[in-house]
Chain A
Amino acid sequence: MTLYDKSVAGRCAFSFSFEEDEARAESCIPDYARAGVKSLPEVSELDLVRHFTNLATVNYGVDTGFYPLGSCTMKYNPKINERLAADPRLTMRHPLDDVSENQGVLQMEYELKESLEEITGMDDFTLQPACGAHGELTGMLIIHAYMRDHDPRRTRVLIPDSAHGTNPASASMAGFQVVTVPSDERGGVDMEALDHLMDDTVAAIMLTNPNTVGLFDENITRISELVHARGGLLYYDGANLNALMGLIRPGDLGFDVVHLNLHKTFSTPHGGGGPGAAPVGVKQFLAEYLPVPIVVQRDGQYALDSDRPRSIGRMSAFYGNTGVLARAFVYIRMMGRDGLAAASRAAVINANYVKKLLAPYYPPAYDRPVMHETVLSAKGYDKYGVSLLDIAKRLMDYGYHPPTIYFPHFPPHAEEVMMIEPTESESRETLDAFCDALIRISKEAQEQPDLLLSAPHNTVVTRVNETYAARHLVTSQRDKKGIG
């Protein structure tokens, strides 16, 4: 039941103590305010509080249970991050305050930049981009500007077929033509195809390593040498840096541009559409192209430098998503160098542990060690009349958020694969219990398939109609009448 369904005409969640206050309030409403707006629900304060409190109790998140969503990792966000980011000395700052009054915020951003440079092996960073794809676009615009100045023939960007869909979209938005590089049998870049495609029209290759199927591309240094030798640049999509942080630096592997998903790797909140933060790091020869302004240190003060004539310009208003940056800053400081490396190792061990336990029931898509996430197959369950979707639905009855299903795409069609990312924070007991549930479901599929087909049974909302909403699109309350 939505708040609109609880609406009663004339009911309201506030009252004025004095009639003259009400009159004064009304007189303050400007003439251009719309009269007779009927689209707002009318409820009492108690109705309102109950509505949202009850909704909150049926929510499922990483704070309530295991959430092994591969690719879109829901990593635990330590509470200290939240506590410090909520400090009024940060939250009460305004971006239009004078720089002299925002020294603390600028110092935090400056030191975060330094940490990210050290973690990635890059020379300079912008903190502006507000999400992963925004970071990709920033990085691609930097490469585009660099090539415009140095080698304008290079108008194409190579992207492996295993890449996340945002990669080709970002390269294309930045003005490049996208060329797909096939994967080899082991799931990495097909070196022969790369050798064939890498010519003097190619500006860069965009790589995610470990890639979208959770595999580390062992040819990375060969790729790096080949691309550089032929005049191209390497772009690192840092979506999966949480498998490598503290252990390997993309800058040392030869990458020229890097974006990081702070809202994943550096444990800031994620989901529900953000807010995210995707700082972009570059090697020194590209630093002049970074977006303005950049936080710099000058005469013992922090300042915002906008005097950079070759900059690609602003990528967001003000300082970027400062609250998110603050959380990542706290995370890095709390973890330290050794802590970040330990988190990467735990993430990799956890993914391989789950893969090993589940392999007899759900065979891995690639028979080799994985990094931070694993792709398992539910092929063959169709002979019991159940699909991967039914297995995922049944998992909800056991109290788990299902993993990502039917992804990654092995073109051209959606195969019966699920992508599990346990993250570093989960205990062995949690992983064992989760794997037990999937193993029991495997047996249920054979013995009582109906249990899966009608699942979930124990959740607030049971099996939903997967197609109705998409086929009968209703995008506003006003359109609601006349459906179903």
Chain B
Amino acid sequence: MKIQEDARYAKSDEWVRVEGQVAVVGISDYAQEKLGDIVFVGDIAVGSELKAGDLLTSVESVKAASDIYSPVSGKVVEVNSEVVAKPELVNSDAFGAGWLAKIELSNPAEVNSLMSAAEYAEYRKD
């Protein structure tokens, strides 16, 4: 299981990496490994306003369809169109090319309540 050191993590296995006012959101390497080969990433509407814990999108793998929640509140400002065309990017590079959306933070302090890399590694160590 790979862990991205400079990201923070939700219990439902999404990660965020803060770049200024914007958080990049994706699902963790642990999550992609559990889900198996991902074959579909659902639409994400640019401009939608989300609260932390709201449904961001869903992904489908050969095993299951899984809801993905936004770990932070804010407005979706960019969507990774590449990953919609090539869902396998989530498998091959969950923390890099497999990112899902960029969210302009409306409450940056929320990020601190998410798990650190070390805490997440402990949380998913089984």
Contacts and interface: CB of A to CB of B under 8 A. Distances in A.
A466 B37 contact: yes
Interface in B32-66: 34-37, 39-40, 60-64, 66
Contacts of B64: 406-407, 409, 413-414
B87 A471 contact: yes
Contacts of B77: none
A414 B37 CA distance: 12
Nearest to B87: A471
B31 interface: yes
B66 A412 contact: yes
A17 interface: no
Q: Which of B60, B66, B88 is packed against the most chain A CB atoms within 10 Å?
A: B66
B12 interface: yes
Given A412-B12, A412-B13, A471-B88, A466 B34 contact: no
A414 B63 contact: yes
A414 B39 contact: no
A470 B39 contact: yes
Contacts of B62: 389, 466-467, 470
Contacts of B36: 389, 406, 414
A284 to B, nearest CB: 39
Contacts of B40: 470
Nearest to B37: A467
Interface in A367-411: 389, 405-407, 409
B124 to A, nearest CB: 10
A412 B62 CA distance: 15
B30 to A, nearest CB: 8
Contacts of A407: 64
B35 A414 contact: yes
A471 B63 contact: no
A413 B13 contact: yes
A398 B34 CA distance: 27
Interface in A449-484: 466-467, 470-471
Contact of A471 (B31, B35, B39): B39
Contact of B88 (A389, A405, A414, A467): A467
Contacts of B87: 471
Nearest to A466: B62
Interface residues of A, number: 13
Interface residues of B, number: 18
A209 B63 CA distance: 25
Nearest to B32: A413
A405 B88 CA distance: 22
A471 B37 CA distance: 10
Nearest to A413: B34
Nearest to B60: A470
A375 to B, nearest CB: 15
B88 A413 contact: no
Nearest to A467: B37
A311 B53 CA distance: 39
A406 B63 contact: yes
Contacts of B34: 413-415
A389 B67 CA distance: 22
A466 B61 CA distance: 10
A467 B39 contact: yes
Nearest to A387: B36
Given A467-B88, A471-B87, A471-B88, A413 B66 contact: yes
A133 to B, nearest CB: 16
B108 to A, nearest CB: 25
Interface string B10-43: 0011000000000000000001001111011000
B81 to A, nearest CB: 16
A409 B60 CA distance: 13
Nearest to B14: A412
A463 to B, nearest CB: 13
Contacts of B60: 470
A415 B37 CA distance: 14
A389 B61 CA distance: 13
B29 to A, nearest CB: 12
Contacts of B63: 405-406, 414
B89 to A, nearest CB: 11
Residue from B13, B34, B67 whose CB has the most chain A CB atoms within 10 Å:
B34
Nearest to B31: A413
B79 to A, nearest CB: 19
> Which of A407, A413, A466, A470 has most chain B Cβ within 10 Å?
A413
Closest 10 CB pairs of A and B: A470-B39, A413-B34, A414-B63, A406-B63, A414-B64, A466-B62, A467-B37, A412-B12, A471-B39, A467-B39
6 contacts: A406-B36, A409-B64, A414-B64, A466-B37, A467-B39, A467-B62
Interface of A: 389, 405-407, 409, 412-415, 466-467, 470-471
Interface of B: 12-13, 31, 34-37, 39-40, 60-64, 66-67, 87-88
Given A413-B13, A471-B39, 4 more contacts: A405-B63, A406-B64, A470-B60, A470-B62
